[in-house]
A and B are shown apart, each in its own frame.
Chain A
Amino acid sequence: MHSKSRYIWAYMMIAPTLIGTLVFWSWPAVYSIYLSFLKSENFGLVNHWVGWANYERLFMDEEFWQNLRNTILYVVLFVPTTIILSTFFAVLLNAKIKGQAVYRVIYFLPQVTMAAAAAMVWVIIFAQDYGLLNSVLGTHIAWISDKRFAMYALVMVGVWGAIGFNMLLILAGLQGIPRTLYEAAEIDGAVGFRKFRSITLPLLTPTLFFTSIVLVIGATQIFDSIYLIIGKTNVALPAVRSLVYAYYQNSFIYYDQNYGAAIVNILLVINLVLTGIQFMLQKKWVIYD
């Protein structure tokens, strides 16, 4: 009796988060699986069961495969770049340098900047005629509307936005490495990069594993920068359109929620598989002491 009332009390404490998660995450996720087997009419008030038809249409759709390739390319470009740069800056900021706090704030700033406002600034930076990037490089490239460059522009924006938070995580990981190990290594004669490679990197792998999982899941869901920076009448859109953008387009522009639901369910499966693979591979490179 006593313990039961304690459980109730505990559930009440987590209720706000739990209810929010169930209502705004779990229910829509389950419902979108259901939706993908329907053909809805009249704003979803009339539904017909169509079985796998939406998925069949998806696999026959050349655009879907292109979107999938785009998403994978983004992940492949974005995740390693972000991890390498975040680690690099975290190591630099972990050293005793003047104005350390100031630098940490500067690198963290993108994290607290409003995404839409930042995107507008990036659009101006990337502009072909008067953009900052072109005038610095002395080029005349249509960064966001040339299909050869648009993906790199998006990766640039993505990395810029992601470094701050990941650097912070890695910094925390760095500070968890006992100093005594470095002192021992110094006695053994290790200097500079050798210390980084033999002590820092191995002991950082649990943190890097965590960041890579979160980054991969986040990167597969790229949407906002495509929506805000590329835009729907951009000639380069087919070259960068991600699965989530295609989901948005089908569900909310073409009013085909069923086809849209099929797209995100495929993405869900992809993410489950990718995360599973990462967990399997971790035995090969992640070191837990």
Chain B
Amino acid sequence: MNIRKKMAAGIASLLLVTLMAGCNSSNDGGGATDSGAQKSVTISYTIWDKNQQPAMEAIADAFTEQHPNIKVKVDAIPWGEYWTKMSAAAPAGMLPDVFWMHGGQFMKYAEGQFLEPITDKVQANEIDLNNYASNLVSIYTIDGQNYGIPKDFDTIGLAYNKELFDQANIPYPDDTWDYAKLAEVAKQLSQPDKGIYGFGAKLDTQAGYWNDMLANGGFILNDDMTKSGYDELASIEALKARYQMILDKASPTHQQMTDTDSVEMFKSGKLAMIFDGSWDNGNLASSEIIKGKYDWAPLPKGKVKRGNIINGIGNVMSTKGKHKDEAWQFLKFLGSKEAAEITAEMGAAIPAFNNTQDAWVKNNPDLNLQVFIDQAADATPYPSGSKSYPVWFSKEAEIMSQAWGGAISIEEGAKKVAEMMNQAIEDAK
């Protein structure tokens, strides 16, 4: 009995020690450092794009070189889980010190006071927001308060497989193309019996039909974000035109593109053309099959204009971080020209810092990446910036997949989306 008791006490004290050690390590280096005491701290930086992780780590290393007492741990959480994890971390006060923010999610986090405003730092001239295009800065501004520093921007391009064009003896797409030409060539390039299609008319918003809708004179949300544009005639017409390419067998069916993602089809040389974002060039380039055999063209012109969605990621910091001073130093560095140059040179994304974009284009001299920069001027901002966005955006895909899969008509789908969006906007008021 005695021995047992001793053992129990032993185990219990062992547990206690481990627990305390656990508490200790998480407290390690707690409290902001004074200018004198250079305590070594580690801050967390969380991103969602694994392709960009090497570049983000290179930036972190360059930062640590200048601030030897601050180490940065870069974590990538896939986009599909990113916001689920962040929405659990936010109320628990566990948000990363610094992390990527998306325009669509920004408002929820800023209004919930989970993001540290940086307005006073801007006013103290610690950072100059004039270094970035103003429409990128405004994504992360509410009621005159600045919360984020633009990291990059992205636009959409038309990726095409040169080999499939050469085989069919058809000239490559260029800036003279309109949607009719796209549909016509897509049909010519399709060989459904061989599993090769001219165009991937995928169910997609930002890199999909939103561009079509804008080009045709439709819209996604009206300017003051109070009404959906899905039920506008021009929008429906654009959606129908895209869907028609599936009916014409110029594109794989929605079922086929559910089995295999259309970008993957393009990467395996089964698609002659797709719309894709500038952020995805690294992904396309990673395919051995199409490496050196693909290039980019601007999106085709529509009835009204050349549609294009521009969006930008922002870097933000948490209000609940333990090392806010260090986090601010890092956030400031992320917004620096040096960080932008690393981003560009490593081909990670188009940096938001003015006049650093050329390095991104030159990083891949064989590809016409200039199209992404050129299209930015007339592009339409991503329709985020409203409280209802996270709700309607996730429901949109579910309704449209019914239309794309042929269960309901395109017109019916578009009208349902409009109704759902207007309801979500109403509920969020």
Contacts and interface: CB of A to CB of B under 8 A. Distances in A.
B255 A255 contact: no
Interface string A131-165: 00000000000101111000000000000000000
Nearest to A2: B1
B50 interface: no
A144 B254 CA distance: 12
B90 A43 contact: yes
Interface string A191-207: 00000000000000000
Contacts of A276: none
A64 B143 CA distance: 40
B377 interface: no
Contact of A128 (B256, B397, B405): B256
A3 interface: no
Interface in B104-163: 108, 111-112, 114
A235 B405 contact: yes
A45 B398 contact: no
A233 B258 contact: yes
Contacts of A129: 195, 256, 259
Interface in B222-275: 254-256, 258-260
B259 A12 contact: no
A142 B255 contact: yes
Nearest to A251: B84
A234 interface: yes
A186 B359 CA distance: 87
A249 B111 CA distance: 24
Contacts, number: 71
Given A44-B91, A145-B259, A234 B401 contact: yes
A222 B394 CA distance: 22
Interface residues of B, number: 29
Interface in B20-46: none
B405 A234 contact: yes
A238 interface: yes
A42 B112 contact: yes
Contacts of B255: 128, 142, 145-146, 235
B3 to A, nearest CB: 14
B353 interface: no
A128 B257 CA distance: 11
B277 interface: no
A123 B255 CA distance: 12
Interface of A: 9, 12, 42-45, 123, 127-129, 142, 144-147, 231-238, 252-256
Given A128-B256, A232-B401, 14 more contacts: A42-B91, A43-B91, A43-B114, A45-B91, A127-B259, A145-B255, A146-B255, A232-B398, A233-B203, A233-B258, A234-B405, A235-B254, A235-B405, A253-B394
28 contacts: A9-B8, A12-B8, A42-B108, A127-B259, A128-B255, A128-B259, A129-B195, A129-B259, A144-B258, A145-B255, A145-B405, A232-B398, A232-B401, A233-B203, A233-B397, A233-B398, A233-B404, A234-B405, A235-B254, A235-B255, A235-B258, A235-B404, A235-B407, A238-B402, A238-B407, A253-B394, A254-B391, A254-B395
Q: Which 7 A-B pairs have the closest CB atoms?
A: A235-B405, A43-B91, A145-B255, A233-B401, A42-B112, A142-B255, A253-B394
